Structure 1
Amino acid sequence: MAQAYDEAMDALSSLITKKSRSSKPVADQRFDRMFDYVKILDLEEPINQMKIIHVAGTKGKGSTCVFTEAILRNYGFHTGLFTSPHLIDVRERFRLNGEDICIEKFLEYFWWCWDRLKAKCSDDMPMPTLFHFLSLLAFKIFATELVDVAIIEVGLGGQRDATNVIQSPVVCGITPLGYDHTEILGNTLEEIAGQKAGIFKKGVPAFTVSQPPEAMQVLEQKASQLDVCLQVANQLDGNLLNGLHLGLAGEHQYVNAGLAIMLSSTWLQRTGHSKVNPVDLTSRLPEPYIKGLTTASLQGRAQIIADRACDNQSQGDLVFYLDGAHSPESMEVCANWFSLAVKEDRERESCLKDSSQILLFNCMSVRDPHLLFPRLLDTCACQGINFKKALFVPNMSLYTKVGSSSSSLPIGVEVDYSWQRTLQTVWEDIIRNKRGNPKKLDPVSSVGEYDNDTSVISCENSMVFSSLPLAIKWLRETVEQNKSIRLQVLVTGSLHLIGDVLKLVKT
């Protein structure tokens, strides 16, 4: 079975293209081909018959989809959920009744789609790219498994996204909008909102959340043109959870939960399963809503894991705070969550040990660290949280290969970490500009560096490691050599990095 799965991963990896996805002609051509692929796989009618909830946005798409799925699953419906990206294993993208699809079913549906597309594709119509194929696979899985509801998260944008072959969803949702993938979606919120609103379909109701005025204006215009009833979902009042907490941590999740409630209730109404007026849900939540919202789970979003690799005396002194934030807005949200979590941890531990906050970071080179770092640093500083060190590492995961839970970086591969050195330079400049007095000596900074010059490049406030395992090793050794400290490591900037850390941390 493992060998068969690796063969499927190799086949998937062959679909990764190096062509720029920001090229409009290329993007248009790829999207237009999706309809041809759908025909080849005989998925036109199944997609049209599927009772779909389609969700786009900049931040919180995955969280909103997970909340929505959990609510409807707790009503007893057979659910399908398609999200991206995966953190460790590609099967995470396809959930049936809240669980990742099993290997046996994945392989069955994968090769069914692969063989039919391979037989029909040619030089004039090449095989779909990776995300396009995964979207087709999701539709095939959910159609054959006869799910009652399919919750589909947009991959990128909306208008030309592979998932937008959906022509008749039951309801659509737009999560908070911000600046992300500007090289593809546009440099203004108006342009970005226009792309996201591309999932609106004539006469199909849609919900969004409070948006910047310029973005909301575009959403309303697009809705009006298509006779779409667009409503704004209110943030969930936490008092409605009967003393429980949301399954996903962070204050921002109450916005996503409020949207999920409206999407779920509208789906229930439009499919004839409920007569409850959505307005009534602002004062009382039925039990399936409460259970769904409080048990929903999604890896890599405001997730806290204590590393158990250290000896017993140090156990629990290395804690990772994982959040896949990678836009300026989400970086601020992440910083708020991390700061609050650190404070709560201090209260629980009753200050038995000194805590030090470390940043473990990487991001794609299309991101601008001059926009990301200040939002993170300023938000944390406002709440009394300051990073002792920032560690920059290249990803273990390869962008040219789809990995699985057993995947690791091939031995002997030479890694280019020039981008991480750039991140380090920006970080050091920002820190030096912010600090008017010398930093006091800290146990974290007194740990000896590795002798191998190619393993670490150290500056006053940061270090670049040639690999993530080396950075994790340094963190563990720091804890072992300083048993009086507690390291709280914020891992952010890239969901790929989050997945790599999850593979290495001993829980």
Structure 2
Amino acid sequence: MQIEKPVVCGITSLGMDHTETLGNTLREIASHKAGIFKPQIPAFTVSQLSEAMDAILQRAHELKVPLKVAAPLDNKNLDGLKLSLSGDHQFINAGLAVSLCKCWLQRTGNWEKLFQNEADLPGSFLRGLSTAQISGRAQIVYDTYSEPNNSLKLSATSCGDLIFYLDGAHSPESMEVCAKWFSSAVKGNKKSSSSFKVEYLEEVWGNGHIQHELGSMEESEKQLKQILLFNCMDVRDPQILLPRLVSTCASSGTYFAKALFVPSMSAYNKVTSGASIIPSDVCGRDLSWQFYLQRLWEKIIHGKEVGTFHDKGARMDNAIILPPHEFLYEDASHCSPEDNYFACSAVMPSLPLTIKWLRDCVKENPSIKVQVLVTGSLHLVGDVLKLLKR
């Protein structure tokens, strides 16, 4: 829906996203984004790459738009509080949000009601910045589920042995941000887990805020395994996304023990389509895209082309094949691509079966803690949250 007479307009950081609709260059994308500008209506943006900024400035000049570049928010502006959304890039987003809100208040005559001091943020701003939540973006979920025979009894995985790190990154820029956040989050989890014992986690709040109770399981004794759960739409370029993810994580000392490639439950045929398709069957599903992703992953890990057992057009037959639990436990260094043995990755037949398989693996082996990064697609992240009942 287009707003003909907005009070103020804003453009966030731009990258190579939705190229099938917005164009194949950053300038084309920026030109489309600047289409929200209206004559003489104030607008804000953030620091952009020169190619994008030139297009934004040109459009602002044509429409006589008073355009300002919002400065990132500084910690000193938060009065001792912390941004609830994780990642350094959120300070950029927060700075833009504050500028937009200030401008809206000024132009609607509500400025004096909140601002007594130009330099200080009002309490309502601080509350918003410190409590804002976005599901599926830098979100941490400690898995909890009920035993089949007792809906009130939490299973062994409730002690935090299966943790999902969810971020719907699907562009090169957002994938790099996601990788930095994940690396920081798993290191923080390792550091904090050595200082207390956890029995179970009652609730997950927002983007990584958890409430826990102390108990009897010694967390520092567990073996940590970072797992990638990945899918992306075929309009994305996994040859850019996956290497960016791996290299950024590696630069922070984070390495994936395994990668799981799985089809999403829901999908959209086009960006402009509102029709959600949820397949009801697993058998007969075309998994050629997932096997393609697996081949790319193995090439990244081994530095050379690696064949697979499945050629293009592979479909899941009537026998639902899942890796043995030992696949998750074994050391990926034993991977021997010459033998077509993929100890580094697997194609999973469906997302519900993957979640169950992960839970069973963790339940069977109490000596491991599995940290699963779910990324590559907002559809995949949403489906996982749905299955985890979040």
* TM-score with structure 2 setting the length: 0.77
Aligned to 2:128: 292
Contact 1:444 1:478 in 2 (8 A): no
Secondary structure of 1:305's counterpart equals strand
Contact 1:314 1:480 in 2 (8 A): no
Q: Name the aligned partner's letter for residue 222 of structure 1.
A: R
How far residue 170 of structure 1 moved from its aligned partner, in angstroms, is 0.4
Query: How many residues in Structure 1 have an aligned counterpart in Structure 2?
Result: 323
Measure, in 1, the Cα distance between the counterparts of 2:72 and 2:82: 15
Measure, in 2, the Cα distance between the counterparts of 1:427 and 1:396: 22
Aligned to 2:190: 346
Aligned to 1:249: 86
Measure, in 1, the Cα distance between the counterparts of 2:261 and 2:292: 10
Measure, in 1, the Cα distance between the counterparts of 2:228 and 2:157: 24
Measure, in 2, the Cα distance between the counterparts of 1:334 and 1:199: 28
1:11-46 Cα deviation digits (max 9, x unpaired): xxxxxxxxxxxxxxxxxxxxxxxxxxxxxxxxxxxx
Say yes or no: does 1:391 pair with 2:227: no
Residue 224 of structure 2 is aligned with which of 335, 343, 355? 355
Measure, in 1, the Cα distance between the counterparts of 2:71 and 2:350: 43
Residue 416 of structure 1 is aligned with which of 286, 306, 309? 286
Aligned to 1:499: 382
Secondary structure of 2:221's counterpart equals coil
- Counterparts of residues 51-450 of structure 1 (less than 5 Å): 163-164=1-2, 166-275=3-112, 283-309=119-145, 311-312=155-156, 315-350=159-194, 351-399=220-268, 402=275, 409-411=279-281, 414-433=284-303, 445-446=328-329
How far residue 246 of structure 1 moved from its aligned partner, in angstroms, is 1.6
Measure, in 2, the Cα distance between the counterparts of 1:298 and 1:428: 33
Contact 1:204 1:229 in 2 (8 A): yes
Where in structure 2 are there 5+ consecutive unaligned residues? 146-153, 195-219, 305-324, 331-339
Secondary structure of 1:476's counterpart equals helix
How far residue 424 of structure 1 moved from its aligned partner, in angstroms, is 0.6
Secondary structure of 1:246's counterpart equals coil
Where in structure 1 are there 5+ consecutive unaligned residues? 1-162, 435-441, 448-456
Measure, in 2, the Cα distance between the counterparts of 1:458 and 1:502: 31
Contact 2:282 2:350 in 1 (8 A): no
Contact 2:114 2:122 in 1 (8 A): no
Contact 1:308 1:506 in 2 (8 A): no
Measure, in 2, the Cα distance between the counterparts of 1:368 and 1:267: 38
Higher-helix-fraction structure: 1
Measure, in 2, the Cα distance between the counterparts of 1:203 and 1:286: 28
Q: Name the aligned partner's letter for residue 266 of structure 2.
A: S
How far residue 353 of structure 1 moved from its aligned partner, in angstroms, is 1.6
Query: Alignment identity in percent?
Result: 56
Measure, in 1, the Cα distance between the counterparts of 2:375 and 2:364: 26
Aligned to 1:483: 366
- Alpha carbons of structure 1 residues 176 and 412: separation in structure 2 relative to 1, 3 Å: closer
Measure, in 1, the Cα distance between the counterparts of 2:157 and 2:46: 47
